Amino acid sequence: MFEGKQVWAELPVLPAKELVPLVQKFEAAGVEGVWAPQIFGAPFTTLAAAATVTKKIKLGSGIALAFTRSPLETACSAIDLDHISDGRVVLGLGSSAKSQIEGSFGMEYGKPLAHMREVVAQVRAVIENGHSGELQKLEGEYHTLDLSHFRLIRPARRSSVPIFLPAIFEKACEQAGAIADGLLGHPLWTTDWLQSKVTTHVQAGLDKAGRERSEIDVNLMIFTVINDDRAEAIADARANIAFYTQSPQYLRYFDAIGFGGQAREIQAAFAVQDYEAMTKACPDEMISTITIVGPADEVREKVAERAQYANSITPVVPQFGLEPDKAAIYRQRIADLFYPSVTGK
């Protein structure tokens, strides 16, 4: 626990000899759950490996890209993993960037809020009733599933699996409040954005759906670099923030937090694949506004400031641009500060 909040960890793709002891240490330390991200490969493989060597820790896809596969495949992946883990799955589903979904994956993006609402509804239907033979046809704007001849071999481990939706903008926060079991806060969020935008719009979504605040778990992913050398910490986070800034659909967010000009310069550099220019265009102030950097005591204080707006937190290493050995050092420092029994403290 951290300031009364549950703590989650990020579980990257690792060789088995590294993944197994890491996730077992997380469990021994009382970490609530682990999120396995999807950059390209689906996160279910990593989570299945973790499920076989743990007993209690929750296993979250943080996030699985919702538009790159059929809702049926997503539902069946969650069902299989829930059986393997004996009911520990948390299904995080995200839209990602249009350029990635339509470019890299060659799939339809559409209107992301409407598309996500449809995917969530169809995934829930399959998990709840995929064994019954009663689903017939699920018709939507983006996915029409003819399930008249489909039936799971056995019922899902649970009739519903918690679904978390990520967000960066206000409308996505509202949608999470209205339809999701949890909101996975974007690591680009600043403390001011949390205070001024997120809380208000999550509550607006809850109010529209007639739900209580207790019906949603807000989990904040927070880029965290613990280092007594502040300049080194900022330098180590620079490539990561530049990477996240390259998406044009985030430009409105960077305008809102005061770094629109820098974001445009980074995006222009990305367009010509000038990665050195991208990092040079990412100033120290932009990095330290988004990423929590500095000595352990200062990091703890700043994370606690953000955590007051959440039910749970996930401090993560900004690993784009970091050598694996250095990322491992920063992961260990996060463990020492937020779940110290990993090191026996």
User: Sign of dihedral through CA atoms 40, 244, 37, 334?
Assistant: positive
Q: How confident is the model over 106-149, as pLDDT tens digits?
A: 999 999 999 999 999 999 999 999 999 999 999 999 999 999 99
Residue type, 341: S
Q: How confident is the model over 1-12, as pLDDT tens digits?
A: 788 899 999 998
Give the count of beta carbons closer than 10 Å to the beta carbon of residue 161. Answer: 22
Q: How confident is the model over 61-111, as pLDDT tens digits?
A: 999 999 999 999 999 999 999 999 999 999 999 999 898 899 999 999 999
CA distance 277 to 287: 16
Burial of residue 249 (CB within 10 Å: 0-12, 13-18, 19+) is: middle
User: Which pLDDT score is estimated for 341?
Assistant: 67
Q: What letter would DSSP give residue 215?
A: G
CA distances 315 to 81, 304, 342, Å, are 24, 11, 15
Whether 71 contacts 45, CB under 8 Å: no
- CATH fold of 6-223+295-343, please? TIM Barrel (3.20.20)
Q: What is the pTM of this model?
A: 0.94
Tokens of 103: 């470019």
CA distance 6 to 315: 11
Q: Where are the domains of the chain?
A: 6-223+295-343, 228-294
